[in-house]
Chains A and B, each alone.
Chain A
Amino acid sequence: MSELLSYDEALERFDPALGLEVHVELNTASKMFCGCPTEFGAEPNTQTCPTCLGLPGSMPVVNEIAVESAIRIGLALNCEIAEWCRFARKNYFYPDMPKNFQTSQYDEPIAFNGWTDVVVEGPEGPQTVRVDIERAHMEEDTGKSLHVGGATGRIHGADYSLVDYNRAGIPLIEIVTRPILGTREIVPLVAKAYVAQLRDLLLGLGVSDVRMEQGSLRCDVNLSLAPRDDGSESDNTGRHSLGTRTETKNVNSLRSVERAVRYEVQRHAAVLTSGRPILQETRHWHEDTGITTSGREKSDAEDYRYFPEPDLVPVAPDKEWVERLRASLPEPPHERRARLQAEWGFSDLDMRDTVGAGALGLVEATIAAGATPQAARKWWLGELARRANETETDISALGVTPAHVARVQALVDEGAINDKLARQVFDGLVAGEGTPDEIVAARGLAIVSDEGALSAAVDNAIAANPDVADKIRDGKVAAAGALIGAVMKEMKGQADAARVRELVLEKLT
């Protein structure tokens, strides 16, 4: 494990610069350059054809829907849309690349020069940070390698490797920010908030499933530190000079984005403080231990020999089409937040907690599925946020969907279960035991509404606690809690506490 400087000390000495490269898998029905299906989880190498296998002679044809999605993403990020742009070949050898070049875009991205504002909780309250978007470009995904044997699961040291080309050719949009400067101690929060906002925005556009755990949104974190700007402006160009950056690959949860940024700030600071240089390299993020380790060294000389893809004609989106897409965009994130807050009657704090937990879209979907805003917030920010924290997973990756939460709340409202039993239903959901109704049935969680059984249990409790019963008979109604507790214990919690209370009072007053 690398030596680290404390976070506070790191920021005392250095200014962090952050850059994020996010790869988004589009949810088009077919691949970027062929007609193969894109469904996740199919048998390996069943969703392939000559084109996405790169067989000799095969040729690509651009998926129009993918271009449309790219333009909509660009517009939602306030980008300019290219009037004319080309695909380019990025040449490098790797077994999961069928052609040993990736069809991508180089100096002519479909969208460029955009921005999006994110709100994070700063030391002096909520703070809006503008993230400048350098570009959003289209490309194809690679196949997926599985390295068998060896200790690391990486190609080095493996006994053999298998490649699944089902993923090869799935449309990707790569969204690259400009360096985000001057955010100081909130830099990890900015990173997380940006990715969360991007996720919500993509969900709102309906262009991607954005399931980080399935790799449909993948994040690379670029970070560098420069000696702290003490205001004396050493660089007379007026620009910040950036330190050497590292690129931490595949940071694939919101929580990890925050942690990885924080870790790299501390690691860079320790290296620089000891007088050593930062190597320009890619680094691997380790979810389990929360650290990064050195990957391959990335020199500036790495040469992909880009050139325009001669098998494709330029993409020249019609201006009217772009304007139609612009007019049909969903509302921007800040407007959406304001509207939802008003609709839901959330306090500023409720709203910030919801956004901060990455649960805005989840809460919205839960309400759409029939729950009240209060119930949706209660479950997501209480029970489910707690579980996500405890298990160190993203709240969206727990295995609990908005529809599940709405159904659990409906069961509570119907009196079929109570809040305590609901928690057991969530246990079942996280364990993948089925739908809420199936779990209630399988685990026998339904509240006992058999009056006879309930009445007998109340009688037993009265008989076992004569002192308490007397107090109630004397008018000390508050003492009823002890008897109710005894009944609930006997009923293993599967009783409606309010009805039990009624029965106790009926029998004793």
Chain B
Amino acid sequence: MNAPQVVSDLIRRTAAELADALAAGETTSVEVTQAHLDRIAAVDGDVHAFLVVDAEGALSQAAAADARRATGQAQSPLDGVPIAVKDVMATKGLPTTCGSRILEGWVPPYDATVVARLRAAGLPILGKTNMDEFAMGSSTEHSAYGPTRNPWDLSRIPGGSGGGSAAALAAYEAPLAIGTDTGGSIRQPGAVTGTVGVKPTYGGVSRYGLVSLANSLDQAGPVTRTVLDAALLHTVIGGHDPKDSTSIDAPLPDLVGAARRGAEGDLSGVRVGVVKELGGEGYQDGVLTRFQESVDLMVAAGAEVVEVSCPNFVHALATYYLILPAEASSNLARFDAMRYGLRVTPDGDPSAEDVMRATREAGFGDEVKRRIILGTYALSSGYYDAYYGQAQKVRTLITRDFEQAFQHADVLVSPTAPTTAFKLGEKVDDPLAMYLNDLATIPANLSGVPGISVPSGLADEDGLPAGVQILAPATADDRVYRVGAALEAALLQKWGGPLLDQARPLVGEVAQRPSRDQGASS
């Protein structure tokens, strides 16, 4: 049983470790890529992290990477390390559905800038990961192609909207993935799957080719298992893009350096602000316990802890659910059967409007329709000032709260999500309960600041992962890497290894430790 062991070893390595092994010639990109493709074949029937797997494309990109490595012409430190991409990113020649029926069969004729940068850096693309339809949701249950399951417990949600990317990392189906975060869609799945996710500063990573949910909130970012991996990936995809007018025209800070420095474990001189409004009522006890433990570890590493208040954060959810649907209702208007995607032609002698209506009726799911209706209403003449206009004002207040808080603290911390992963189906018919998942993550999107979610441990009551969120001022993304890496190092020491080692084994896997006594079979 020599071969399976090698495979198992390769998929469990971090991206940084794989990069080192590739650079040292200890393995090849084809071997690494094949190991992940095998893993996907073995477990994705249960997990359903992927909507499309491009084995042929990934292996040929891997072979090209090996050829470059062989001649000492690696295009980036991550050259040859495979990656999964959330299905909201346009990929030339590879179907892109955004988890929606309405885009079934659409093959983009162009690459998103993020994807183009991955290709230029030599990362083979394994496939496209599942998501809530058009990124609307916190559980991936709103995918038109069926839910993704949490590798920790297949009866539970992996978070959303980027549940596919996070689950792919947690199930060792990919060493890296791309996510997008509009209200928490990178960070919340990271928290509930025990993985790392970063929402960069708004404008820090190009949105060109990211199918817009809410343009003023969307931000693509890394989904990984370690803070250093996130920094390495962020460095590949980040930086100014002339095709995105809202992208920041300034060099990225040294993110990898910040992560390495943080991993040394010294946080002396760092002021950590605990946000009063992001905790307490509505938060699961076990999540709060793990959060407090993380704060204590930061103190032990030399950080100074202060409590800060952001009084307008209580309005963040309401504000978000006006701005997001408004922008989304306009963004989604283009899906009308005229140029691409699904076309439903009603009987009789239908007009163009009839075809549009029938296609949108059949092609969009309920959550999408709900938000289109909300957004259309919020933008309507006579309501605009009361809803969209007012929401923009509150948004300004939330940004001011951040500015105030960052006068007293270098980073702000909170639990990433109020609860651990809930059961599939538990909240799918209760939109408001679902929306509460993003309570702690939404303020960062409203004001554009960067944030990371790092695993904080397992909640005592259910043994499921929780996450801690670290936020920094806009363009100070290096801070979230430094503090995140320091916390990660302290926790690894406490746990004696990665949190994911404590997860129950999936199909065909030898248990790392005795599995807990819960439902789903392996």
A interface residues with partner B (beta carbon < 8 Å): 50, 53-62, 89, 91, 93, 95, 98-101, 155, 161, 163, 301, 303, 305-307, 310-313
A56 touches B245 (CB 8 A): no
A310 pairs with B216, CB closer than 8 A = yes
Q: Which residues of A contact B336 (CB under 8 A)?
A: 93, 95, 100
Q: Do residues B108 and A57 form an inter-chain contact, with CB atoms below 8 A?
A: yes
CB distance B352 to A161 under 8 Å?
yes
| Residues from chain B with Cβ under 8 Å of A163 in the complex | 338
Report how far A58 CA is from B241 CA in the complex, Å.
Answer: 13
Taking CB atoms and an 8 Å cut-off, the chain B residues in 91-126 that contact chain A are 96, 98, 103, 106, 108-110, 112
A54 to chain B, nearest CB (A): 5
Known contacts A56-B96, A303-B381; A61/B243 CB under 8 A: yes
Q: Which 5 A-B pairs have the closest CB atoms?
A: A100-B333, A310-B215, A305-B379, A57-B209, A310-B216
Closest chain B residue to A100 by CB distance?
Answer: B333
Say yes or no: A305-B381 contact (C-beta < 8 A), given A56-B334, A312-B245.
yes
Q: Is the CB of A313 within 8 A of B245?
A: yes
B121-160 contact mask (Cβ, 8 Å, vs A): 1 or 0:
0000000000000000000000000000000000000000
B431 interface residue (CB < 8 Å to A): no
Indicate if the CB atoms of B246 and A61 lie closer than 8 Å.
no
Given the complex of chains A and B, what is the CA–CA distance between A303 and B207 in angstroms?
29
Interface residue range, chain B: 35 or more
Whether B334 lies near A100 (C-beta < 8 A) is yes
Check A305 against B330 for contact (C-beta < 8 Å): yes
A91-B330, A305-B380, A310-B327 known; A61+B245 contact, CB < 8 A: yes
A54–B335 Cα distance when bound, in Å, is 10
Shortest Cβ gap from B183 to chain A (Å): 15
**Cβ of B89 under 8 Å from chain A:** yes
27 contacts between A and B (CB under 8 A): A50-B108, A50-B110, A55-B109, A55-B339, A56-B98, A56-B211, A56-B334, A56-B335, A57-B96, A57-B210, A58-B110, A59-B244, A61-B243, A61-B245, A89-B330, A93-B336, A95-B338, A100-B334, A101-B333, A163-B338, A305-B329, A305-B330, A305-B380, A306-B379, A307-B326, A307-B330, A311-B244
Residues of A within 8 A of B326 (CB): 307
What separation, in Å, do the CA atoms of A306 and B330 have in the docked complex?
A: 10
**Contact partners of B169 in chain A: CB under 8 A:** none
Looking at the complex, which one of A54, A93, A98 makes contact with B356 (CB distance below 8 Å)? A93
**What is the minimal beta-carbon distance from B32 to any residue of chain A, in angstroms?**
29
Q: Is B212 interfacial (CB-CB < 8 Å)?
A: yes
Which residue on chain B has the smallest CB distance to residue A301?
B381
List A contacts of B215 (CB < 8 A). 310-311
Q: Is the CB of B333 within 8 A of A59?
A: no
Chain B positions within 8 Å of A100 at CB level: 333-334, 336
A307 and B98 alpha carbons, distance in the complex (Å): 25
Q: Which A residues are in CB contact (< 8 Å) with B244?
A: 59, 311
- Digitize B194-227: 1 where CB-to-A-CB distance is under 8 Å, 0 elsewhere: 0000000000000111111011100000000000
Minimum CB–CB distance from B98 to chain A (whole Å) comes to 7
Q: How far is the CB of B195 from chain A (nearest CB, A)?
A: 25
The secondary-structure label for the interface of chain A is: loop
Asked if B90 and A57 make an inter-chain contact with CB atoms under 8 angstroms apart, the answer reads yes
Instruction: Please measure, in the bound complex, the distance between the C-alpha atom of A73 and the C-alpha atom of B379, giving whole angstroms.
Output: 31
Q: How far is the CA of A54 from the CA of B341 in the complex (A)?
A: 13
How far apart are the CA atoms of A311 and B209 in the complex, in Å?
12
Which residues on B sit within 8 Å (CB–CB) of A54? 334, 339
Known: A56-B211, A95-B352, A99-B333. A50 touches B245 (CB 8 A): no
Complex contact A57–B89 (CB within 8 A) = yes
Complex Cα distance, B333 from A311, in Å, reads: 15
Q: Which residues of A contact B381 (CB under 8 A)?
A: 301, 303, 305
Q: How far is the CA of A101 from the CA of B329 in the complex (A)?
A: 11
Q: Which residue from chain B places its CB closest to the CB of A160 in the assembled complex?
A: B352
Question: Given the complex, which residues of A lie within 8 Å of B208, measured CB to CB?
Answer: 57-59
Contact B207 A55 (CB under 8 A): no
Complex formed: what's the CA distance from A313 to B203 in Å?
11
Q: Are B108 and A53 in contact (CB under 8 A)?
A: no
For A165, the closest partner residue in chain B by CB is B339
Q: Does B384 reach chain A (CB closer than 8 Å)?
A: yes
CA distance A98 to B335 in the complex (A): 9
> Smallest Cβ distance from A156 to chain B, in angstroms?
8
Cβ of A160 to closest chain B Cβ, rounded Å: 10
The verdict on B340 contacting chain A, using a C-beta distance below 8 Å, is yes
B425 at the A interface (CB under 8 A): no
Tell me whether B309 is interfacial, beta carbon within 8 Å. Answer: no
Measured in the bound complex, the distance between the Cα atoms of B383 and A301 in whole Å is 13
Find B245's partner among A60, A101, A307 (CB 8 Å cutoff).
Answer: A60
Q: Decide if B388 is an interface residue (CB 8 Å cutoff).
A: yes
Q: In the complex, what residues of B have CB within 8 A of residue A60's CB?
A: 245
Does chain A have a CB within 8 A of B253?
no
Contacts of A61 in B (CB 8 A): 242-243, 245
Tell whether, in the assembled complex, residue B90 and residue A56 are in contact, meaning their CB atoms are under 8 Å apart: yes
What is the 8 Å Cβ interface bit string for chain B, positions 364-384, against chain A (1 contact, 0 not)? 000000000000100111001
- In contact, B96 and A311 (Cβ under 8 angstroms): no
Decide if B429 is an interface residue (CB 8 Å cutoff).
no
B245 and A59 within 8 A (CB): yes
Q: Is the CB of B243 within 8 A of A155?
A: no
Known A-B contacts A98-B339, A161-B352; A56 and B109 likewise in contact (beta carbons under 8 Å): no
Q: Which residues of A contact B329 (CB under 8 A)?
A: 91, 305
Q: A307 — which chain B residues lie within 8 A by C-beta?
A: 326-327, 330, 379, 384, 388
Let me know if A101 and B330 touch, CB within 8 A: yes
CB contacts (< 8 Å) of B210 on chain A: these are 57
Q: How far, in angstroms, from A60 to B245 measured CA to CA in the complex?
A: 7
Contacts of A306 in B (CB 8 A): 379
Q: Tell me whether A57 and B212 are in contact in the complex, defined as CB-CB below 8 angstroms, given that A91-B333, A307-B330, A312-B245 are known contacts.
A: yes
Q: Which A residue sits closest to B360, measured CB to CB?
A: A93
C-alpha spacing A53/B338, complex, angstroms: 11
Chain B 484-509 interface 0/1 with A at a Cβ cutoff of 8 Å (1 = within):
00000000000000000000000000
CA distance A305 to B333 in the complex (A): 12
> Shortest distance in angstroms between A305's beta carbon and chain B's nearest beta carbon?
4
State whether the Cβ of B353 lies closer than 8 Å to any Cβ in chain A. yes
Most buried by A among B208, B211, B333, B351: B333
Q: How far is the CA of A161 from the CA of B352 in the complex (A)?
A: 9
A65: min CB distance to chain B, Å: 16
| Set of chain A residues within 8 Å of B338, measured between Cβ atoms | 95, 163
Identity of the chain B residue whose Cβ is nearest the Cβ of A60 in the assembled complex: B245
Residues on the A chain within 8 Å of B352, using CB: 95, 155, 161
B308-341 Cβ-contact flags toward A at 8 Å (1 or 0): 0000000000000000001101100111101110
CB distance from A48 to the nearest CB of B (A): 10
For the A-B complex with A101-B333, A311-B244 known, give 12 more contacts whose Cβ atoms are closer than 8 Å.
Answer: A50-B108, A55-B109, A55-B110, A56-B98, A59-B243, A59-B244, A61-B242, A62-B245, A91-B329, A91-B330, A307-B327, A310-B246
Complexed CA–CA distance, A46 and B385 (Å): 41
List A contacts of B242 (CB < 8 A). Answer: 61
- Write out the residue numbers on chain A whose beta carbons fall within 8 Å of the beta carbon of B356: 93
Which residues of A have CB within 8 Å of B216? 310
CA distance A57 to B108 in the complex (A): 10
A99-B98 Cα distance, complex, nearest whole Å: 17
Q: What is the 8 Å Cβ interface bit string for chain B, positions 14-39, against chain A (1 contact, 0 not)?
A: 00000000000000000000000000
Distance between Cα atoms of A91 and B384 in the complex (Å): 14
Instruction: Report the minimal beta-carbon distance from A97 to chain B, rounded to whole angstroms.
Output: 9
Q: Is the beta-carbon distance between B340 and A55 smaller than 8 angstroms? A: yes
A62 to B339, CA, bound (A): 24
How long is the Cα–Cα vector from A100 to B357 in the complex, in angstroms?
Answer: 13
B207 and A59 within 8 A (CB)? yes
Are A56 and B339 touching (Cβ within 8 A)? Answer: no
Tell me if A313 and B246 are in contact (CB < 8 A).
yes
One of A53, A58, A62, A305 near B209 (C-beta < 8 A): A58
Specify the chain B residue showing the minimal Cβ separation from A99.
B334
Which residue of chain B is the closest to A155 with respect to CB atoms?
B352
A57 to B114, CA, bound (A): 11
Q: Which of A53, A55, A161 contacts B90 (CB 8 A)?
A: A55
Nearest-Cβ distance from residue B163 to partner chain A, whole angstroms: 20
